[in-house]
Amino acid sequence: MRVNVAIHRDFGVSAIDERLYSAFIEHMGRAIYGGIYDPDHEQADERGFRRDVLALVRDLKIPAIRYPGGNFVSAYNWEDGVGPKDQRPVRLDLAWRCKETNQVGINDFAYWADMAGMEMMLAVNLGSRGLEEARHFLEYVNYPGGTHWSDLRRSHDVPDPYGVRMWCLGNEMDGPWQIGHKEAHEYGRLADETAKAFKAFDATIETVVCGSSNDQMPTYPEWERTVLEECYENVDYISLHKYFGNNGKDTLNFFGKVEETGRYIQAVAGAIDYVKAKKRAKNDVFICFDEWNVWYHDREKDTRRIKEWDWPVAPPLLEESYNFEDALFVACLLNEFIRRSDRVRIACIAQLVNVIAPIRAEKDGPAWRQTIYYPYQMASLYGRGDALQVAVDAPRYDCRVADDVSFLDVAAVHDAKSGIITLFIVNRHLSESADLNVSLTGFAAPKLAEHFVMQGHGLNETNGPDHQDKIAPAPGSGVGVEDGCLRGKLAPLSYHVMRVNVS
Ligand code: AHR
């Protein structure tokens, strides 16, 4: 198939907020215990965190990390996780029917996030608790000293406050499964009062209010409108969550879920615009897509297991094995976030280690990269700068979730500092290669600087502890600049990162 892509220097989308490449990690399964933290592992540092896991996390250059949940946060007492470890209580975690040992709490996690070079984005419990505990937590975390909660932190060997700027006001409060689930208007009121108190403490704090748990919820998108009408002026972001799967074994329909996500983003942006207009508000609210990933391979099995088990400590849970098809999907989804970076400012892959994660940490073995690690890494490393509009003229297809889906999925980012345009391209066609022609108008003498490609794998192929680089980017060939245009042949089912020097 022939494909033309047009990019023009003067037609941009938005400056990309680097937090578009953030991550999420929760106290569940082996994400924290047996994931980032495992004092018995040979790779553990003096505080019990695995060095090999940390190295893989660092290579992703993740700007921010959302913590500690997730569903877990809705019945979590943050005070249980501070102070001497031998005095911390073991509690029941009602979200995942496990025991929480509290051996990792805010100060331990902050140490790890700092080593990984990530800013923390903390969620407060607005399920079983409320404004009172949330403001105590804020004071413990962010106030320098001389007050009850800040002095408690100082007594825990943390003299300086963390200065956490992003705060999530609960988690998925629309979900009936959530401990302390609320109706839209009651949650909206609570979120408003909590956000107001946080901003009274420090006006530069950014708050994230819970949108729907996904776009299939019966209360979506009325939830967004009602909640925002209660709290619009005191919030900076509204969250979106969406998990994806190819249950029907229909690859093109799976890829079509990226278009469905575009509609979801557009609808929530519409709710934001409606409430802003209704309230004659001056502030803007952006989207924080703070949970996204593929999650379906073992989902039903895991749901059954949770119901049956007897409150274990850190059992393996949601340990999805990702294949090549999932990597292609993740590449397309990240492209959608870049294309909608005008509204989506923050996005978090859910999660980071072991639990629906790009990184797997074997109990007594190595840490390794799953297939989806790579498109996430490529976007994080090279997707910084200004998102450009891309006009794509390619054959299209209809599927169950969307019509008129382009076989070629493209996003483009211009980094003015380095003078490089990065094109992220997926040829989603199952059998046809694409004869690509990209015109780059308004840019001087383009030269192809680098080309990475993932291709030639079976859709069901996976990586593993002893072959973590099997499905990974390799240097590409067959693409070059002719007459100022980027031209080449892209194999069916292939992912490309083309870095073009235009300085
Ligand atoms: O990431 C797993 C779970 O998915 C999170 O705890 C919850 O927020 C979502 O439903």
Question: Between 2.60.40.1180, 2.30.40.10, 3.40.50.620, 3.40.50.300, what CATH number should domain 2-10+387-501 receive?
Answer: 2.60.40.1180
Cα(503) to ligand 1 centroid in Å equals 43
Catalytic hit among 18, 79, 100, 172: 172
Kindly report, residue by residue over 235-271, the tens digit of the pLDDT. 999 999 999 999 999 999 999 999 999 999 999 999 9
Asked if 440 contacts 391 with a C-beta cutoff of 8 angstroms, the reply is no
CA of 484 to the centre of ligand 1 (A): 47
User: What CA–CA distance (Å, rounded) separates 324 from 238?
Assistant: 31
If you take atom 9 of ligand 1, which residue's CA is the nearest one?
70
Give the Cα separation of 251 and 267 in Å (integer).
25
Most informative mutation of 98, 125, 240, 241 for ligand 1 (most atoms within 8 A of CB): 241
Closest Cα to atom 6 of ligand 1: 70
pTM of the model as a whole = 0.97
74 lines ligand 1 (CB under 6 A): no
Q: Determine whether the shortest distance from the Cβ of 320 to ligand 1 is under 6 A.
A: no
Q: Is 127 in the pocket of ligand 1 (CB under 6 A)?
A: no
71 lines ligand 1 (CB under 6 A): yes
Task: Quick: pLDDT tens for 395-443.
Answer: 999 999 999 999 999 999 999 999 999 999 999 999 999 999 999 999 9
Nearest CA to ligand 1 atom 7: 70
- Give 200 Cα–ligand 1 centroid separation in angstroms: 30
171 lines ligand 1 (CB under 6 A): yes
Establish whether 291 is a catalytic residue.
yes
- Nearest Cα neighbor of 500 from 385, 369, 374 is 385
* Residues contacting 273, CB < 8 A, separation 6+: none
Token pair in block for residue 38: 């495992």
CB count in 10 Å sphere of residue 462:
19
Task: Measure the CA–CA gap between 341 and 19, rounded to whole angstroms.
Answer: 10
CA 70 – ligand 1 centroid, Å: 5
Domain boundaries, the chain: 2-10+387-501, 17-382
29 CB under 6 A from ligand 1? no
Give the C-alpha separation, 491 to 444, whole Å. Answer: 28
Structure tokens at 484: 């100022």
Whether 172 sits among the annotated catalytic residues: the reply is yes
Ligand 1 contacts CB of residue 158 (under 6 A): no
Q: What is the pLDDT of residue 371?
A: 98
> In the numeric block, which tokens belong to residue 43?
């790779």
Question: Rounded to the nearest whole angstrom, what is the distance from the C-alpha of residue 337 to the centroid of ligand 1?
Answer: 20
Q: Is any atom of ligand 1 closer than 6 Å to the C-beta of 239?
A: no
CATH 3.20.20.70 fits 17-382, yes or no: no
Task: Render each residue's pLDDT in the chain as its tens digit; 503 residues.
Answer: 999 999 999 999 999 999 999 999 999 999 999 999 999 999 999 999 999 999 999 999 999 999 999 999 999 999 999 999 999 999 999 999 999 999 999 999 999 999 999 999 999 999 999 999 999 999 999 999 999 999 999 999 999 999 999 999 999 999 999 999 999 999 999 999 999 999 999 999 999 999 999 999 999 999 999 999 999 999 999 999 999 999 999 999 999 999 999 999 999 999 999 999 999 999 999 999 999 999 999 999 999 999 999 999 999 999 999 999 999 999 999 999 999 999 999 999 999 999 999 999 999 999 999 999 999 999 999 999 999 999 999 999 999 999 999 999 999 999 999 999 999 999 999 999 999 999 999 998 899 999 999 999 999 999 999 999 999 999 999 999 999 999 999 999 999 999 999 98
Angle at 206 between CA 200 and CA 211, to 5 degrees: 115
pLDDT of residue 444: 85
Query: Does the CB atom of residue 455 touch ligand 1 within 6 A?
Result: no
Residue 203 has a pLDDT of: 98
> One of 26, 259, 291, 325 is an active-site residue; which one?
291
